[in-house]
């Protein structure tokens, strides 16, 4: 089933010049880039993205991280794109992530884990709307 998913290449990866390496992994695995932009996210945009975490102790840290420097927002398309991208990214904690996943290769820590991907069809639709209108 062909589907689309949102991916963010987060500030820590952009700061370390990893955009190209990460994009190659998605394309090498048969995913197509449908939309992409380089953006310095506003606080309002980051708060919308992380709305489900509002009120939690780590919310302000998430927003500060996402807004500290530019990021790349993209929409990938392919068969079972949501689950495939999440598998390619690996687990949230790079230390626990399987070998050769994006987070295992490039993630710095649980809080600076290089990439974000939508976790469901509903999240993908909501997140694409936030980042691409």
Could you say which of 40, 49, 53, 116 is catalytic?
116
Q: Does residue 36 contact residue 74 with C-beta atoms inside 8 Å?
A: yes
* Other C-beta atoms lying within 10 Å of the C-beta of residue 119: 14
Establish whether 116 is a catalytic residue: yes
Task: Give the C-alpha separation, 9 to 54, whole Å.
Answer: 22
CA distance 35 to 110: 27
Our measurement of the distance from residue 87's CA atom to the centroid of its chain's CA atoms, rounded to an integer in Å, reads: 12
Active-site residue numbers? 116
């Amino acid at each position: 089933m062909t589907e689309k998913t949102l991916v963010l290449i987060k500030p820590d990866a952009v700061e370390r010049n990893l955009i190209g390496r990460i994009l190659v992994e998605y394309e090498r695995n048969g995913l197509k880039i449908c939309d992409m932009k380089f953006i310095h996210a506003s606080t309002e945009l980051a708060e919308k993205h992380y709305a489900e975490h509002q009120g939690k102790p780590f919310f302000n840290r998430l927003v500060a991280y996402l807004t500290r420097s530019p990021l790349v927002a993209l929409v990938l398309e392919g068969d079972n794109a949501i689950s495939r991208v999440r598998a390619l990214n690996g687990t949230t904690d790079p230390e626990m992530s399987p070998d050769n996943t994006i987070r295992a290769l490039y993630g710095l820590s649980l809080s600076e884990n290089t990439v974000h991907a939508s976790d469901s069809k509903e999240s993908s639709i909501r997140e694409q709307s936030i980042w691409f209108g």
